[in-house]
Structure 1
Amino acid sequence: MTVTSPGTPRHRAPGTDDALPLPAADGSVAQWTARYTHAVMDTFGPPQRVLVRGEGPYVWDADGVRYLDLLGGIAVNSLGHAHPTLTAAISAQLGTLGHISNFFASPTQIALAERLLAIADAPEGSRVFLTSSGTEATEAALKLTRRHSAGARPRVLALEGAFHGRSMGALSLTHKQAYREPFEPLPPGVEFLPFGDADALRAAFAHGGDEVAALVVEPIQGEAGVRPLPPGYLALARELTTAHGALLVLDEVQTGMGRTGRWFAHQHPHIGGGVRPDVVTVAKGLGAGFPVGAAIAYGPQAAELLGRGQHGTTFGGNPVAAAAALATIGVIERDGLLDHVTGLGERLRERLRSTGNPLVREVRGEGLLVAVELDRPVAARVAADALAAGFIVNPCTPTTLRLAPPFVLTDDQVQPFVDLVAALPADLAPEETA
């Protein structure tokens, strides 16, 4: 299918003589890193590399070195880098209408909301709140829970190992103490339950269940090491939240938009068991690199919780972001990428398991969200060595390598990484970690 922007531009796009140049890419990685340390806040530490361009699943740094991007901007670049359909859609929309305030609407905004409701299989009366990021989508979902029962339900349940974002509201749902402690006190009322523990979930509702506003969970925890919820957990969650009048909120910021081979991870029968949530949050892969997110509220009971003036966002739903998301959905459908993600993910996990390297304890995941679990805490060292060899992966825990590559990756392109894993020293010692 061809993705085009609605409407016809009134003016031609500026010619090259009118274009301002991008910052010059000359200079080494070391030179750019030195400039970074003097200009950018030190919230991420020194950059591992300074990247200057990308194509498909590959990126190049300022020294001209090529890397296979097996992290995809942390599950963002679903179409790889510089995808022609995506770049054309963004350029066409920006050349027609770039930004408007939320006093107005655009055809792309409305069309995107309709498409999200369709792929989410949302019932009549459902609505979408468009945002610029996953954290913003989480904030919208958290506000929905506060509005549920007019604030008479003070409890919000989340899971140990959860990551839902870094803003104050989203951080209150995020479990890792190192993220939380510098900013406490956080918004109150959040209780963390043991991950995947059905008995703990039952107990949380057995005592004060009618005071629970919502249960917020990731179908597969990404930051905690690509940990899928056990089969039956979401079905039990749906049963308990329904019985006690609480909302079931699924964070699909990382797992949504085809990452697992379905539009949403909870649509897999072995993960979701056919449940219909009340709210689903998405972002990351939704725009394939362009900042866009959404909170999808299922049915009028959830969709009507936020009234006029009770929430807002400057850039959420802007025409360019909406065009990027529509293009992303269109390419995934046109090129059969859901099936490709399923097949390639299965083959990749099997190849990694079959390396026979005793350092690899387990390979798990769904689609192209994959974890390589090592038998000792050497993930940071392995990731550093992989980078030096031309592969970008993420040590999301001391023992876990996370892969979330572009959907356009091929078997041949990923095989050299499998070979690298097979050749990892089986006696790599923990004290050698970076």
Structure 2
Amino acid sequence: MSFLNWSVAPEGSTPTQRENFRKVIIDGIGIGIASAAAPFLPVFLARLGATNFQVGLLTAMPAGAGFLFAILIGAFLQTRKQVVPWFSGARLLVISAYALTGVLPFVLPNDQIVIATLIIWALVTVPQVIVNVCFSVVMNGVAGPKGRYELMSRRWSILGLTTAIAVALAGQILDRVAPPFNYQVVFLLFSVGGLISYYYSSRIELPDQEPPPRVPGASLRARASSFVGLIRGERAFVSFMTKRFVFFTGSALAVPIFPLYYVRAVQANDAWIGIINTAQAGILLFGYFIWLRFSKTRGSRFVLLWTTFGLALYPALVAFTHDVQLITVFAALAGIFQAGLDLVFFDELLKTFPAKYSATFVSFAQSLQHLSTMLSPLVGTLLADHIGLGGALLVSASIRLIAFLLFLRGK
């Protein structure tokens, strides 16, 4: 299969499906460009003297908003005939935060930039929640139940390739341009990807969804009881979400630890940090292809078990070395397993509930995920203060391993 064939819809697609497929892929390219700035945001704060806790807030703040508002946003979106405008508009707002961050060194002294950056990212937490809920709904609408692996493997492959190239370029800019202008250039330049994303994602055409009937005059308690009953009635969903929650807890714990470990323990420069992130993002292109083949020949359970096990080992391997070249190899291997995990978690989640209630179930799943990503980064940074950055990575590995064992026991 050539790379060109990966950028077009599968055979048998309708003209609208083909056009939607193309828009989703190009949207992924825009997001790949914008995402190149993401690995350097915590590094930017760390180099400005931000505390471990402040770096952890970058992950904890959007997670807190997600935990508080995801279910409410899901209930709202469930009543909308079209979620595409909400998806594309909210995404543009989130990526605009990179541009605003890039402007800060022009207008503020260094000792105020950390707080101002955190305020900017706090303001876009609700739009980020909207994006997270809408994403699964929109992608499922574009792909359908039989095309999810195909669509997402192609989108994420091209996104990964784009991000890898852009991150490598960002790392070189940061290493060659004098601070503080180097970070300004990166944040402003790569936020242009948000405009590409908005142009194409806002033009995705999906049929209107029929909102579920509302019971007039129902009390808040009655609606909450109905919601809980709807969730509990899907046992496969509850089982999968419990195990996924444990895995995400272990993963989120390490999110602020990795950049801190690179800067403070390994003492890697920005160019090497760019190479590490490029290795992890670039290998996704091949990882998606590998796991797509395995899903067809060995099934989803094979993909689920091997990817959760492989990613459980990753933080532990990094914790035992300060060799930046070896860390780059580990990051590349983790990228292969991450590709499979992205695919299998996305597909398995959407199998566990009725499609007509997508916004409701996805929002609940997002709320649980945000609970772990809200608390775990803060726990991780607190652990790092007491047992060191390497010790925090080992705790992350242990929690991921527990999640793997839970999936192993399940049927």
> Normalization by structure 1: what TM-score?
0.23
> Normalization by structure 2: what TM-score?
0.24
The structure that is helix-richer by fraction is 2
Whose radius of gyration is greater, 1 or 2?
1
The structure that is strand-richer by fraction is 1
